[in-house]
A = this chain, B = another copy of it.
């Protein structure tokens, strides 16, 4: 379905293992030196493997960049939905998802910065795949917003636009981490950010529900 990176090696477990070695090394290097300043030798040496080997697992340097970025977006898609395991009402689920998105990015801001910097270094096909994964991630937020609207807790809004504001809230931490960390924490950043949105979105009914939950939490 997606333009999969091809490998000479058959054993899928080995492919998985080697690629993750190369991706790990490349992620660090790309983040530090950028894609173009990082050589294949840098990557293979850093992975403790020989220069030529990488070409048994990848067709070209570009494939490595794709695998790195794919890996980042995959981790979003894997981590964010776990915020819903705790259950709760629509608003809680919305907040948990936003928080999860911010936290997964806060966990490795370099990865998100890398995505912003180097996605355009990919060929058109790979860019499409990456963008589709981003849209898939956005859907996790869209679903929460619509849940809140359907429940009557959020005012009806332009869902797509709101989603992007939240995406920018999350990505913003990564993009400006160097400075934001000087005068705030990720927690405060998220809390205040959520306040901003809830303030503008909650209906009276939503407020009632939200207060209930917060007080319940506060008692704990």
B161 and A183 within 8 A (CB): yes
Known: A120-B117, A199-B200. A164 touches B192 (CB 8 A): no
A183 and B168 within 8 A (CB): no
A196 and B116 within 8 A (CB): no
Q: Mark A12-37, 1 if CB is under 8 A from B, else 0.
A: 00000000000000000000001011
Complex-state Cα separation, A169 to B121, whole angstroms: 25
CB distance from A61 to the nearest CB of B (A): 12
Q: Which of B121, B184, B200 contacts A196 (CB 8 A)?
A: B200
Known: A34-B121, A168-B176, A179-B164. A196 touches B193 (CB 8 A): no
Q: How many chain-A residues does the 8 Å CB contact rule pick out?
A: 34
A34 and B120 within 8 A (CB): yes
A195 and B184 within 8 A (CB): no
Nearest residue (CB) in B for A31 is B120
Complex-state Cα separation, A167 to B197, whole angstroms: 17
Q: Is A59 an interface residue (CB 8 A)?
A: no
B180 and A176 within 8 A (CB): no
